Amino acid sequence: MIRVSGLKKSFNNNEVLKDISFQVNEGETVAIIGPSGSGKSTLLRCLNYLERPDAGSIEVGEVSIDAEKPKKVLVNQLRMQTSMVFQHYNLFKNKTVLENITYPLTATKKYRRREADAVGQNLLEQVGILDKQEAYPISLSGGQQQRVGIARALAVDPHAILFDEPTSSLDPEWVGEVLNVISDIAQKDKTMLIVTHEMNFARDIADRVIFMADGYIVEEGKPEDIFDNPQHERTRRFLSKYGRQVSTENNKEEPALVMA
């Protein structure tokens, strides 16, 4: 379970998160959508303290942190509760595909080499690139690299996995294979929080959708409600740009856009 309340974050004088509160239940998949610059990625990065929030509290699994007085020990424990899949994969370039997965296991979780290899190979098989285990990241396609990134995030067996726009820097031809892998994980009842621009994917995979704009959560709800019957003007405007069908009932002033 993830519980966030009153989270605030500014960069210099630019307030990126303005009082964010939400909850993700055990085993739930939540998609965060919204325009660029709305604070989605920053929110995700606050959850594992890659960014340090200014105020509010974060609770993930058994660890909770008050942003006003974060203890270093707690920050480390909080980071252990989650793992992250990055937009740019961020694989360790000096390590092989298998080592990318096993290095965190042997370094932090005190696995023996052979146990770690077994875990890693099993996960590589799940994401479909066991044959590349000895390769270095540079020789992989974007889609393959991201699948390794997902396997690495799964390996530490976190309480929740954070996906930060996992397909945004992929060539269109690789998007499908990565989304398929993520869908598989979602079906295994992993707790997942996904920032994405793939609206169809969010709709298909998420149990709940959060729409963010300008540092606020504008609305949240079941995918059908958000996509078919958004309550807020801001949400409708955003979705119309993505060409989603938006219910005309609540949207008299703007013509609905219908695409494919």
* Interacting residues toward another protein by CB under 8 A: 48, 50, 76, 79-80, 82-84, 86, 88, 90-96, 103-104, 107-109, 136, 138-139, 149, 152-153, 155-156, 162
Least distance CB 46 / another protein (angstroms) = 12
Nearer to another protein, 23 or 87 (CB): 87
Least distance CB 84 / another protein (angstroms) = 4
Least distance CB 140 / another protein (angstroms) = 10
* Burial (Cβ within 10 Å: 0-12, 13-18, ≥19) of residue 1: middle
Nearer to another protein, 94 or 200 (CB): 94
Nearer to another protein, 62 or 254 (CB): 62
Nearer to another protein, 139 or 248 (CB): 139
- What would the two tokens of residue 205 be? 């995979």
* Burial (Cβ within 10 Å: 0-12, 13-18, ≥19) of residue 169: middle
Least distance CB 247 / another protein (angstroms) = 38
Nearer to another protein, 147 or 244 (CB): 147
Least distance CB 123 / another protein (angstroms) = 13
For 32, other C-beta atoms within 10 Å of its C-beta total 28
CA torsion sign for 140, 143, 145, 151 is negative
Q: 97-108 burial, b if ≥16 CB within 10 A, otherwise e?
A: bbbbbbbbbeee
SS3 content of the chain, % helix, strand, coil (to 5): 40, 25, 35
Grouping H, G, I as helix, E, B as strand and the rest as coil, residue 126 is: helix
